[in-house]
Chains A and B, each alone.
Chain A
Amino acid sequence: MSLTLATDATAPRQTWLEKLGPGHVILAVALVLYPLVASDFFLTQIGGYSLIFGMLALSLMMLAGYGGMVSLAQITVAGIAAYAIAILGNNNSNVLGFGWPWWLAAPFAVLAAAVASALIGWISVRTEGIYTIMITLAIATATYYFAQQNYAIFNGHSGYAGIHAPSFWGVNWRDPKAFYYLCLGFAVLSYAAILYGAHSTFGLTLQAIRDNPRRMRALGYDVTAHKVFAWFLAGIIAGLAGVLLVWFNGRVSPGTIGVDVAIDVLIIAVIGGLRHPIGPFLGALVVVLMQTFAIDIVGAERFNTLIGLVFLVIVFVSPDGILGLWGRIKPHLAQESLRSGP
C-alpha cells in the first residue's frame, strides 16, 4: 500500500473519461485531425519524424524517469531493428536481404531489438548514474563503428538502401497520410502502455527500486531482474521506432545510429521533460522543427549555433524541460483567469 503513495497523486476512484482527462481528449482529436491541415511534408517529415523520435525518447524516458537508468543506447536498439528489417526483408544494395515478408520481419526485428536491449541492460544495470551513461555510450559508439566497418552484415558506410514500407489491406503505408497514422498509432500505443505501466505493480516496483534499491532487495525483490525486464520493455518501444525509422528513411546506414543521434535522443528527452511520458514527444517536436527550419532563420553558417542556444535557453529557464515550463505557467494562467473574471 505504501507504494501507491509514492506515485503521482491520483485520486483512487475515477471513471475512464475522468482518468483520461480533457488534455488527452483535445490532444487526440488534434492529432487525428492534423492531416486535414498539414501538407505532406509536415505529415511525414515533421509529424511522423517527431513521433518516431518521440518514441525513441519515450523509451529513454521510461528507463530514466521510472528506473533511474539514463541510457545513450536507445538509437542503437532502434538501429538493430532497422538493420534487421533491411537484412531480413528486401533491399537494393546487393548484400544479404532474405526477402522475408513484412509481417514476419517486423515482429522479428522488434523482438531482436528488445532482446538486444535486455542484453545492454544486463551489462549496464551493475552500474549507476554517470557510469550507466558511459557504458551505454560505449556500446552505442562500438555499434556505430562496428556497423561502419563491417561489410558482411552491415554493408559498411553506405548501409542499406531501397527498403520499402509494406503495402497491405489495400494501403501503401509509405503514403504520407497512412504513414503518419501508422506512426501515430504506435506512438499512442507506446504512450498508453507507459502511462498504464507506470501504475502497474511492475511499474511501481521499478520506481521503488529507483528510489531505494537496497530496501527493495531487503524486501526480497530481484532488483537486477526487474531492471533488465524494464530494458526489455523499453527495447520493444525503441525497436518499434526503429522499424518505423527504416520505413521512413527507406534506408539505414551507420549515420542513422551515430553518436550524435544518440545524444539527440537524450537532448529530446531532457528538453521535453522526464516527468511525464508526453515530455519526449514535445521535445521531439521542438528539436525536429528546429533542425528543419533553423537554416531558414539564420542561414547555413550559423544555424547549429541557434539550435544550441534554444536548447540552452529551455534548460536554463526550466531545468525539467518544456513540461516543467508548463507546470510553472499553469498556476499563473489559473490566477489570470480568476482576475480577469467578471
Chain B
Amino acid sequence: MRIHRRTLLALALATGLTAPSLALAADDTIKIGLLATFEGPFTVLGEDGERGAMTAVEEVGGKVAGKTIEIVKGSSDASPDSAVRAARKLVEQDGVKVLVGPLSGDEGLAVKDYAKTQPTVTFINGTSAAQDTTLRNPAENFFRFSTDGAQWMAGLGTYAFNDKGYKKVATVAEDYSFPYTQVFGFMAEFCKAGGKVPSKSWVPIGNKDYSSVIAAIPDDVDAIYVALGGADAVNFLTQYQQSGGTAPLIGGSITVDQTVLTSKGKLRDVLIGTPAAGPTADTNDSPSWTKFLEQYKKQPGAFPSPSLFAHGYYVNMKAALLGFEQVGGDVSDGGAKLRDALSKLSFDTPTGKVSLDKNRNAIADIFLTEVTEGADGNLLNKLVKVVSQVNQTLGIPEDEFMKLGAVNRDNPSCP
C-alpha cells in the first residue's frame, strides 16, 4: 500500500511539473528574472552581482508601480551555453517579461542572440561587457545601462604612459571577449600616447598554473597589464609574486576589484599602488555613492565595498525598476512601451549620470583609481580622476572607431 501511495505521489509530482506553467502569479506582482553565475570560477562575482540587484530592489521596498516585485533567479557557469539555457528557463518556463543579466562577456553575446528570438521580452544586461554585445549587430530588445570593457579603461592608458612613465607593457588576460575588450580599451590610449606592447598572453578561464605564462613575459617591460577575474587573478598574482616577479602592475577593471582585494595572503604588498580604471571607485565620497554603500552593506555577505558586479547589476536593475515605474508596471503590450521608456531613460546612479546611445549602450562616468590601504587595513581603490561621460566609441567619431575593426586577440597591436 505504501508503495502505491508513493507511486501516486511521484505521478502527481510529475504531472505537476509537466503541466504548462500555471498562472499562479497574480496581477499585483511583477516578475523579473535575475541571471548571474552561481557556479564555476565566477561564482563569487555572481553572488556580489545578486547583492547589487537586491540592493536596488530593497531600495524601493520590493514594490514598483504599486506591485510587488518577484525575483526569479537563474544560474550559469560563465559558459555561453549555460547562460542561454538559464535564460530560456526564466523566459519560457517562469514567464519573466524582463530579464536582468548575464554577468560575463561571451554570455552576453549569446544572450543577445537569444534575445532576438524573444522580441516580446526585455533583456537588460547584468555586467557583461563585451563590446559587440551592443556595438555590432545589436538586438532591439537588449539594453546595457552598464558600460562595456573598453569604456571602463578610459583614461588608464594615458595615465600609465604620462604619469606612471611606463613605455613598454606586457599584457596578461583571459582568453575571451571581455578581456579582449579591456585590452583593446587600454591599448587604444596607451599605443596612441606612444607606448609599446611587445607581448600579449591569453590564458584560458579557470587556469591554475601560470608558470609558462610568467616565463613568457619579457624581462625588459616597465609594467604588466593584467586583466584576469576572480580566482584567476588571485592565482596569477600569487604565482607571479612567488616566482620573484617585480614589475609593477596595471589592473584591468575586475583584476583589482573587491572580489580580489579581499583575498587573504601576501598579495596586498604587490597590489598596493596598482593603477586601474573601471565604473566604480571605493573612495568615491560623493553622497550618492556613500548612500549606495550603506544600502549595499545591508546585504548578507557583503564586501567592505561593492564590487563592480554589485554596481553593474544595481544600475541595470535600477533601470528596469525605473522603466516599470514609468509604464505603471504594464508589459501587456509585449513590453513595447517599457522598451521605449528604457531607451529614453536617463538617471543618476551612485556613480553619476547614465544615459543610452542609439545602440542602447550606456554613456557614463569612468573612474581612474589606484590601490591603497584603507584606515582599517582593507585594500581600497582610491579615486584618482573621473573621466566624465565616456561613450562606447571612447570619444572617437563612430565611423573612425568602426574602422579599428572588431575586438579580438590580435586587434589592436603595437609591438
Indicate if A249 sits at the interface (CB-CB under 8 A): yes
In the complex, A34→B17 CA distance in Å?
Answer: 13
Chain B residues whose C-beta falls within 8 Å of the C-beta of A156 in the assembled complex? 175-176, 409
Q: Pick the residue among B74, B80, B89, B113 that contacts A255 (CB under 8 A).
A: B80
Q: Are A333's CB and B73's CB within 8 A? A: no
Q: Are B47's CB and A301's CB within 8 A? A: yes
* Interface stretch of the complex, out of A39-47, A62-70, A193-201, A309-317: A39-47
Q: Which A130-168 residues sit within 8 Å CB-CB of chain B?
A: 145, 148-149, 151, 156-159, 161-162
With A295-B75, A300-B50, A303-B75: A340-B1 Cβ-Cβ less than 8 Å: yes
Chain A residues whose C-beta falls within 8 Å of the C-beta of B393 in the assembled complex? none
Residue among B21, B74, B79 facing the most chain A CB atoms (10 A cut-off):
B79
Indicate if B247 sits at the interface (CB-CB under 8 A): no
Q: Pick the residue among A157, A256, A329, A333 that contacts B205 (CB under 8 A).
A: A157
Chain B residues whose C-beta falls within 8 Å of the C-beta of A225 in the assembled complex? none
Q: Are A251's CB and B80's CB within 8 A? A: yes
Q: Are A299's CB and B3's CB within 8 A? A: no
Q: Which B98-114 residues sit within 8 Å CB-CB of chain A?
A: 106, 109-110, 113
Chain A residues whose C-beta falls within 8 Å of the C-beta of B1 in the assembled complex? 336, 340
Indicate if A304 sits at the interface (CB-CB under 8 A): yes
Q: Measured between C-beta atoms, what is the minimum distance from A333 to chain B in Å?
A: 6
Q: Are A158's CB and B39's CB within 8 A? A: no
Q: Are B176's CB and A295's CB within 8 A? A: no
With A40-B92, A158-B109: A249-B175 Cβ-Cβ less than 8 Å: no
Q: Are A300's CB and B75's CB within 8 A? A: yes
Chain B residues whose C-beta falls within 8 Å of the C-beta of A301 in the assembled complex? 38, 47
With A39-B21, A300-B38, A300-B73: A151-B409 Cβ-Cβ less than 8 Å: yes
Total cross-chain contacts (CB, 8 A): 104
Q: Are B17's CB and A293's CB within 8 A? A: yes
Please encode chain B, from 44 to 60, with 1 for each CB lying within 8 Å of some chain A CB and 0 for all others.
Answer: 00010010000000000
Q: Measured between C-beta atoms, what is the minimum distance from A208 to chain B in Å?
A: 38
In the complex, A289→B80 CA distance in Å?
Answer: 20
With A41-B89, A145-B204, A292-B89: A304-B3 Cβ-Cβ less than 8 Å: no
Indicate if B84 sits at the interface (CB-CB under 8 A): yes
Q: Pick the residue among B18, B73, B80 that contacts A37 (CB under 8 A).
A: B18
Minimal Cβ-Cβ distance residue in A for B410? A151
In the complex, A260→B82 CA distance in Å?
Answer: 12
Minimal Cβ-Cβ distance residue in A for B174? A157
Q: How large is the interface on A (under 10, 10 to 19, 20 to 34, 35 or more residues)?
A: 35 or more
Indicate if B88 sits at the interface (CB-CB under 8 A): yes
Q: Are A45's CB and B85's CB within 8 A? A: yes
Chain B residues whose C-beta falls within 8 Å of the C-beta of A299 in the assembled complex? 73
Chain A residues whose C-beta falls within 8 Å of the C-beta of B21 in the assembled complex? 39, 41
Minimal Cβ-Cβ distance residue in B for A254? B79
Chain A residues whose C-beta falls within 8 Å of the C-beta of B18 in the assembled complex? 34, 37-38, 42
Q: Are B110's CB and A251's CB within 8 A? A: yes
Q: Pick the residue among B19, B36, B74, B80 that contacts A159 (CB under 8 A).
A: B80
Please encode chain A, from 290 to 309, with 1 for each CB lying within 8 Å of some chain B CB and 0 for all others.
Answer: 00110110011101100000
Indicate if B158 sits at the interface (CB-CB under 8 A): no
Minimal Cβ-Cβ distance residue in A for B406? A94
Q: Pick the residue among A41, A42, A151, A255 that contacts B79 (CB under 8 A).
A: A255
Q: Measured between C-beta atoms, what is the minimum distance from A112 to chain B in Å?
A: 21
Q: Measured between C-beta atoms, what is the minimum distance from B377 to chain A in Å?
A: 28
In the complex, A138→B42 CA distance in Å?
Answer: 25
Q: Are B80's CB and A148's CB within 8 A? A: no
Q: Pick the residue among B81, B106, B109, B176 that contacts A249 (CB under 8 A).
A: B81
Residue among A40, A251, A255, A329 facing the most chain B CB atoms (10 A cut-off):
A255
Q: Pick the residue among A37, A295, A304 that contacts B19 (CB under 8 A).
A: A37
Q: Which A312-342 residues sit within 8 Å CB-CB of chain B?
A: 329, 332-333, 336, 340
In the complex, A42→B93 CA distance in Å?
Answer: 8
Chain B residues whose C-beta falls within 8 Å of the C-beta of A329 in the assembled complex? 3
Q: Are A158's CB and B176's CB within 8 A? A: yes
In the complex, A336→B6 CA distance in Å?
Answer: 13
Indicate if B4 sits at the interface (CB-CB under 8 A): yes
Q: Are B3's CB and A336's CB within 8 A? A: yes
Minimal Cβ-Cβ distance residue in A for B301? A301
Minimal Cβ-Cβ distance residue in B for A144? B204
Q: Which B1-55 residues sit within 8 Å CB-CB of chain A?
A: 1, 3-4, 17-21, 36, 38-39, 47, 50
Minimal Cβ-Cβ distance residue in B for A329? B3
Q: Pick the residue among B20, B74, B109, B204 that contacts A295 (CB under 8 A).
A: B74
Minimal Cβ-Cβ distance residue in A for B76? A255
Chain B residues whose C-beta falls within 8 Å of the C-beta of A159 in the assembled complex? 80
In the complex, A34→B85 CA distance in Å?
Answer: 21
Indicate if A253 sits at the interface (CB-CB under 8 A): yes
Indicate if B177 sits at the interface (CB-CB under 8 A): yes
Q: Which A267-290 residues sit within 8 Å CB-CB of chain B?
A: 289
Q: Are A161's CB and B3's CB within 8 A? A: no
Q: Measured between C-beta atoms, what is the minimum distance from A37 to chain B in Å?
A: 6
Chain A residues whose C-beta falls within 8 Å of the C-beta of B93 in the assembled complex? 39, 41-42, 45, 292
Minimal Cβ-Cβ distance residue in B for A339? B1
Indicate if A250 sits at the interface (CB-CB under 8 A): yes
Minimal Cβ-Cβ distance residue in A for B94? A296
Chain A residues whose C-beta falls within 8 Å of the C-beta of B38 in the assembled complex? 295, 300-301, 303
Chain B residues whose C-beta falls within 8 Å of the C-beta of A250 in the assembled complex? 84, 113
In the complex, A296→B72 CA distance in Å?
Answer: 8
A residues within 8 Å of B by Cβ? 34, 37-42, 45, 145, 148-149, 151, 156-159, 161-162, 249-251, 253-256, 258, 260, 289, 292-293, 295-296, 299-301, 303-304, 329, 332-333, 336, 340
**What are 25 sample pairs from A and B whose C-beta atoms fall under 8 A apart?**
A37-B20, A39-B21, A41-B88, A42-B17, A42-B20, A42-B93, A148-B204, A156-B176, A156-B409, A157-B106, A157-B176, A157-B204, A161-B109, A161-B110, A249-B84, A251-B80, A253-B81, A255-B79, A255-B81, A260-B77, A295-B73, A295-B74, A301-B47, A303-B75, A333-B4
19 more CB-based (< 8 A) A-B contacts, given A158-B109, A251-B84:
A34-B18, A38-B18, A39-B20, A42-B17, A156-B409, A157-B175, A159-B80, A249-B81, A250-B113, A251-B81, A253-B106, A255-B80, A255-B82, A256-B79, A292-B89, A292-B93, A295-B75, A329-B3, A336-B3
Q: Which 7 A-B pairs have the closest CB atoms?
A: A255-B79, A39-B20, A41-B92, A157-B176, A41-B93, A300-B38, A300-B73
